Amino acid sequence: MKYETAVALRYLRSKRKDKFISFTTWISVVGIAIGVMALIVVIAVMTGFQNEIRDRILGINPHILVVSLGGEIYQPQKIVEAVREIPGVASASPFSTFQAMAQTGRRITGVVVKGITSQDLASMSRILKGGAGTFDGRDSILLGKELSRELGIVRGDRFSLLVPFAGFSPMGAVPETVRVQAAGIFETGMYEIDNTLMLMPIEDVQRIVGGGVTGVEVKLKDVYQADAVRKLIAKKLGPGFFCRTWMEMNKNLFSALKLEKIAMFIILALVIFVASFNIISSLVMTVMEKKKDIAILKAMGARNNSIMRIFMAEGLAIGAFGALVGAVIGYGLCEVQTHYKIIKLPPDVYYISSLPMTISLPDVLLIAAVTILLCLLSTLYPSFKATTIDPVETLRYE
């Protein structure tokens, strides 16, 4: 240990003649600890919400969507087999969609009907809550919770789907009325999906609209490798197909969440910045109190940069201790909430029963780095002030 660090730690441990300096030092520690704790908790909450939204989106939507530039795909099995051979692909399956009007009595609303396989429905069991399980025979359909409320539909009810492109006459398009039965009601937690989406067996959808399939949905082993796998799929299928990843399809949503996370980080970092100002006042008063000691060190040959390092080390020790205390408390609060679900949320509003928290190691490291940097900047002025002490004038009357 260099003597500068040893002197700095001794100054921190020694009893102060002026009790106010010790009080200011503890205020600095508490302020930094509170700032770090608040920043860790808020970032953990925002990361938890972001992961929750991502899981809900990926639970109902594909990781990669493959569509044909020419419209429908009429030989989907060849495309599915080719995609499944690509490294990183967990599964691939065809789907079909069409828009329709759902009607019950005098209630009518626009919906999106998506035809999927039974295997795809089984893979959604974790995200499709509310009793949705399997398709129950021909013309069975699953609909979102919000949509069922709007139409007044419960499980087992029959209602009509008006398909606008079923046929043509001299007067224009002739809609076809298809009678379907609600086999279940699902709840993804995403209002836009729960209020518009209906799920049907892909065979029934193809029977209604005819033709091929709309595209192929791809699930990956690692969702964060979507861009790399997309390039491999596009290369293998050729220029006649277009691929989009889940990040591209939800770019606006995740960009907004990322921007909000950055904004909250900056705002709460300012709390740490304000707390670090206490380090300036504490070190300035310490310099004044240790004026004689500084003069003696300089008279013994200590250089100005050594004097600066003493007080910089003292300030960094205060900041590091405060950051450590804040990190331990913040991490503890996140762990308590994660395991015991103390903070509850109304599930009918947020679709989750408790406040989600996810601690990310890169976020914690970034918070620690920013805290240490701010504390280091706060030590510059007091440390420079200590180097301006003239040992001759200070020790003349001692």
Q: How many CB atoms lie within 10 A of CB 169?
A: 7
pLDDT at 381 over 90: yes
Confidence of residue 393 (pLDDT cuts 50, 70, 90): confident
Q: What is the pLDDT of residue 174?
A: 62
Report percent pLDDT > 70 for the chain.
92
Q: Which amino acid is at 110?
A: G
CA–CA separation, 23 vs 40, rounded Å? 26
How does pLDDT run across 206-232, given as a tens digit for each residue? 888 887 899 999 999 999 999 999 999
SS3 state of residue 313: helix
Q: What is the pLDDT of residue 1?
A: 57
Q: How many CB atoms lie within 10 A of CB 81?
A: 10
Q: What is the pLDDT of residue 93?
A: 95
Taking the domains of the chain in order of start, what are their residue ranges? 3-56+253-395, 65-246
Confidence of residue 382 (pLDDT cuts 50, 70, 90): very high
Q: Which amino acid is at 165?
A: F
Confidence of residue 337 (pLDDT cuts 50, 70, 90): very high
How does pLDDT run across 67-122, given as a tens digit for each residue? 999 888 988 999 999 999 999 999 999 999 999 999 998 899 999 999 998 888 88
Using an 8 Å Cβ cutoff, are 82 and 92 in contact?
Answer: no
Q: What is the pLDDT of residue 84?
A: 95
Q: What is the pTM of this model?
A: 0.81
Using an 8 Å Cβ cutoff, are 375 and 316 in contact?
Answer: yes
Higher pLDDT, 159 or 60: 159
How does pLDDT run across 21-42, given as a tens digit for each residue? 678 888 889 999 999 999 999 9
Using an 8 Å Cβ cutoff, are 102 and 109 in contact?
Answer: yes
Q: What angle do CA 226, 229, 230 make, to 5 degrees?
A: 80
Using an 8 Å Cβ cutoff, are 93 and 117 in contact?
Answer: yes
Sign of CA dihedral 271, 273, 275, 277: negative
Locate tokens 């395991």: which residue? Answer: 339
Confidence of residue 129 (pLDDT cuts 50, 70, 90): low
Q: What is the pLDDT of residue 16?
A: 58
pLDDT at 170 over 60: no
Burial class (CB in 10 A: 0-12, 13-18, 19+), 263: exposed
CA–CA separation, 276 vs 272, rounded Å? 6
Long-range contact set of residues 368-374: C-beta below 8 Å, sequence gap at least 24:
368/36, 368/323, 368/327, 370/269, 370/272, 371/32, 371/35, 371/36, 371/272, 371/319, 371/322, 371/323, 372/316, 372/319, 372/320, 372/323, 374/269, 374/272, 374/273, 374/276, 374/319
Confidence of residue 126 (pLDDT cuts 50, 70, 90): low
pLDDT at 131 over 70: no
